Amino acid sequence: MVNLNGFDANTVEPINDFDPIPAGKYVAVITASQFKENKNKTGEYLELTFQVIEGEYKNRFLWARLCLNHPNPTTSKIARGHLAAICKAVGVLTPRDSAELHNLPLVINVTIKKRTDTGELTNEIKGFSQRESASAPAGNGRSSIAPWRR
């Protein structure tokens, strides 16, 4: 059991909005990461928790699972490609620990898909890219060093 130290639900506004956020690109950071065994116990995945840090959906959380160790080599290859995209987006190319990727802004490309088990709509992160510097002219096709990395 966990001691809730006198928590009083009468003093807190309940949050009941778990609807997916609209498809689009959002600036986010990784706030947590954990390596977990898959449900079939045939491999492992890296679960990443992302928090949107700007805009209307600021403070919303999304998750990505990267099946880095999987019996299907294509699945592992795709997961490693996503991890490479994350590393390049945050500027940490050779992390020794997933915590090195935490709290560094990047852009996540969010889609909406229908769950096969329940039919409910849910978010899925389909891509990762570098956050553009506020000082870069729009449409120049080049990326510049982001201000937080200088």
DSSP string, the chain: ----TT--GGGS------PPPPSEEEEEEEEEEEEEE-TTSS-EEEEEEEEE-SSTTTT-EEEEEEEEE-SSHHHHHHHHHHHHHHHHHHT-SS-SSGGGGBT--EEEEEEEEE-TTT--EEEEEEEEEPPPPTTSPTT-S-----GGG-
| Res. 144: pLDDT tops 70 | no
Q: What's the full length of the chain, in residues?
A: 150
pLDDT value at residue 133: 66
Mean pLDDT across 40-50? 95
CATH code that applies to domain 19-131: 2.40.50
pLDDT in tens, 52-97: 999 999 999 999 999 999 999 999 999 999 999 999 999 999 999 9
Task: Tell me the mean pLDDT in the region 129-137.
Answer: 69
Structural domain boundaries in the chain: 19-131
CA distance 27 to 109: 9
Q: Is the pLDDT of residue 141 over 60?
A: no
Among 51, 62, 55, 60, smallest CA distance to 29 is for 51
pLDDT at 146 over 70: no
Task: Judge if pTM exceeds 0.75.
Answer: yes
User: Which tops the pLDDT comparison, 141 or 40?
Assistant: 40
Predicted confidence band of residue 12 (pLDDT cuts 50, 70, 90): confident
Residue 18 in this model has a pLDDT that exceeds 90: no
